[in-house]
Structures are given as C-alpha cells and as structure tokens.
C-alpha cells in the first residue's frame, strides 16, 4: 500500500483544514471494571453507527470516529451521538489513557489480521491497552502538510501536558500524569520524528523505514504526529483519551487552530528530537504543572507557554479549555477522585460519570 499512497496522496481531497476526531474508549461494567466486549458492542450497534465505531487492538476498547467536520463543535456532536449509541447497547465507557485498575493480561487481542500482526510484532509491549485522542486536520496539498507538521512539532509537549489523563495503572498511582506515554515508549516508531525538508524528504524516509521495520505500510509508524497521505491530513496522535467530551472539545479546538496556524506560518522553532523527547517526558510526568522548554531551551511553566500560544492561534477565550485548566486536566480530575487510602473505586465512578455527560 505504501507506494501508491505516497505516489498519489489524498491531500486536497476535502476542503482545506477540515477536522476529524477519533477517541479510543475503554468498555467497562457497571462499576467501571474493564470488559472484553468489543465484539458484542459492534454487533449490537444500530446500523447508522457501525461505520464510525470501530474495533481496536484490544477487545476492551472501541474507537469513535467523527465525520469530516468544519469545527470542533461539529466533531463533538458526532462523537456524542456515537457515544450514546455505544452506551445504548448496555456497556459503560471510560475515557482515560490507561484503565486505572485493570491488571496485566486481562485485555484480549481482537481477532483481526492487522491486530494479530501487531500483537506478534510487539509481544509484551502490547500487554496494557492505551486510550488515545487523535486529531486529523485536512491539508490542501503535500507541501502544506509538511509545513504544518514541522510547525506542530515544537508544541507537542505542551499538548501532551494539557491532555495527560492516566496517572493510575494496575491499581496504583504511577507518580506520572500520563502512564500512557511511558507505556507507548516501549513501542517502536512511537516518538516524534525529525522535521522534514519537504514532501520528498518525508516520502523517502517513510519508504525506507517501512522496509527496515518490515511492516506493511506507514500506518504502522505510530508517531505522535504524522502526515497521513491516505486520508489527506496531518494527524496528532500524542494525546491521552479524555474523560469528558468537554475536555475533548477543548483539545480538538486548540489542535485545529494550531494546525491552521502552523500551515501558513514559519515554525516557531525546530527543536532537536532529543529536546522534544525530554520535554515530552516532563509533560507526562507533571502534566499541567510541568516546566517545558521554550525556543531558547529555557524552562517555563506549561500554563505560561499556553498563554503565549493562545495569543497567536486562539485569541478568543474557550470555556472548555478554561475548565480543563481549572480542574488540572484529566490527571487532576482522577487524583482528586481517589481516596486517601489509595482506593480507586471513586476514580472509576467519576470517569464513568464523565463519559456519559
């Protein structure tokens, strides 16, 4: 598949800067325990929802996929309808980067050729399911896609800090705001690639990496950010799944505005992969309390960097983003729900409640 897609990418096949949002959610029972119910859910869904709710690698998850939208509000309306359809078949949902209390080995692999291949490829690196929020922004042509990719790269750690929503794993506090980020570091091709000179540079690298990795195509390059020529988008993949549609909307709106800005502006700076790697770890460790590097490699509070960014890309105040900041992001919500003795029952209850509102 790689060669035809890279020869004839789908950039420009939709209006420029359209938006698509995908949310990977955990399937749970009445008290929030993980359920391997993906097959049941997909079979029981009403016909209209089946094309936009898909299986995931693990049978305890489904992915909700918006249509091609013009705004974050429109995408969230799609996701709300899909969420309600899933809830209507009698399962619960959790939006989180990692299920807080599930144990290793509880999650089954979905019996599908692609997923069986991934399981054989990754082995134990796949033992813990992870939930992500993916944001696609349509690009008018290949060179604009590369410009947007390069412009988004420096802001990935800040976006990760905002989205951090997985402080608990295996029933305990990990000391991190995003245990999903640390889990994914065991996957190959899961970090942030270098900046690219142009489309030809990206294409050459993608073809070479696909050959060396011995994978079918570039969709097995699980980077935090990637051009997606098959869909004609730039895809942001670095974000934890969110506990609520309000938090999802805040992040989708910011990512959309930032991608549009990056597509038409020179990059604010082009950090080396090593700097981005360290900044990403700082974001996953401390979430909104992180200090992250600016263009001078000086450490500044994430909230200050966000204020600077919003002045340029999203000057109008977003109430959803303000609420996310007040709550300390998803990690703040989860930790505030945990009991002092470490019991996470209320965390599961709060996540389940937010997934329905």
CATH for 236: 3.30.590.20
If we measure between CA atoms, which residue out of 72, 68, 75, 60 comes closest to residue 27? 60
The residue assigned the tokens 């990754």 is: 122
Return the pLDDT at 2.
46
Phi and psi based region of residue 30 (left: phi greater than 0; alpha: psi -120 to 50; beta: remaining): alpha
pLDDT at res. 1: 44
What pLDDT is stored for residue 172 in this prediction? Answer: 96
Predicted local confidence at residue 4, as pLDDT: 60
Question: What is residue 268's predicted lDDT score, i.e. its pLDDT?
Answer: 84
Give the whole-angstrom CA distance, residue 236 versus residue 262. Answer: 13
pLDDT on residue 49: 84
Radius of gyration in angstroms for the set of CA atoms belonging to the chain, rounded to a whole number: 19
Q: What is the reported pLDDT for 3?
A: 52
pLDDT of amino acid 337: 97
| pLDDT averaged per 10 residues, the chain (length 357) | 74 95 98 97 89 96 97 98 96 98 96 97 96 98 98 98 98 98 96 96 97 96 97 98 98 98 92 95 98 94 97 92 97 96 96 96
Predicted local distance difference test score (pLDDT) of residue 65: 98
Query: How far is 307 from 21, CA to CA, in rounded Å?
Result: 24
Pairing of strands 19-28, 61-65: antiparallel
Whether the pTM exceeds 0.85: the reply is yes
Residue ranges making up the domain that contains 325:
2-354
350-to-24, 28, 100, 244 alpha-carbon distances in Å: 18, 13, 12, 10
Cα–Cα dist 127/130, whole Å = 10
How many domains does the chain fold into? 1
């Amino acid at each position: 598949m790689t060669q035809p897609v890279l020869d004839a990418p789908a950039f420009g096949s939709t209006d420029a800067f359209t938006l698509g949002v995908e949310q990977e959610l955990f399937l749970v029972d009445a008290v929030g325990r993980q359920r391997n119910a993906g097959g049941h859910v997909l079979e029981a869904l009403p016909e209209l929802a089946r094309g936009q709710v898909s299986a995931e690698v693990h049978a305890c998850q489904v992915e909700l996929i918006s249509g091609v939208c013009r705004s974050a509000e429109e995408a969230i309306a799609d996701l709300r309808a899909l969420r309600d359809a899933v809830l209507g078949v009698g399962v619960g949902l959790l939006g989180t980067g990692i299920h807080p209390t599930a144990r290793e080995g509880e999650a089954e692999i979905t019996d599908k050729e692609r997923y069986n291949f991934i399981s054989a490829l990754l082995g134990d690196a796949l033992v813990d399911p992870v939930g992500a929020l993916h944001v696609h922004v349509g690009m008018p042509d290949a060179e604009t896609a590369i410009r947007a990719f390069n412009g988004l790269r420096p802001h990935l750690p800040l976006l990760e800090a905002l989205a951090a929503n997985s402080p608990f794993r295996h029933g305990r506090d990990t000391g991190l705001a995003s245990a999903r980020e640390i889990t994914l570091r065991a996957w190959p091709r899961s970090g942030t690639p270098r900046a690219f000179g142009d489309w030809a540079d990206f294409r050459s690298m993608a073809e070479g990496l696909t050959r060396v990795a011995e994978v079918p195509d570039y969709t097995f390059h699980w980077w935090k950010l990637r051009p997606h020529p098959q869909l004609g988008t730039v895809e942001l993949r670095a974000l934890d799944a969110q506990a609520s549609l309000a938090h999802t909307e805040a992040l989708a709106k910011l990512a959309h505005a930032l991608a549009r800005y990056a597509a038409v502006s020179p990059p604010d700076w082009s950090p080396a992969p090593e700097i981005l790697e360290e900044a990403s770890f700082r974001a996953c460790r401390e979430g909104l309390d992180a200090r992250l590097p600016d263009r001078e490699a000086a450490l500044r509070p994430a909230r200050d960097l966000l204020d600077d960014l919003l002045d340029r890309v999203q000057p109008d105040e977003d109430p959803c983003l303000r609420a996310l900041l007040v709550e300390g992001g998803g990690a703040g919500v989860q930790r505030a729900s945990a009991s002092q003795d470490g019991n996470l029952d209320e965390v599961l209850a709060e996540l389940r409640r937010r997934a329905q509102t």
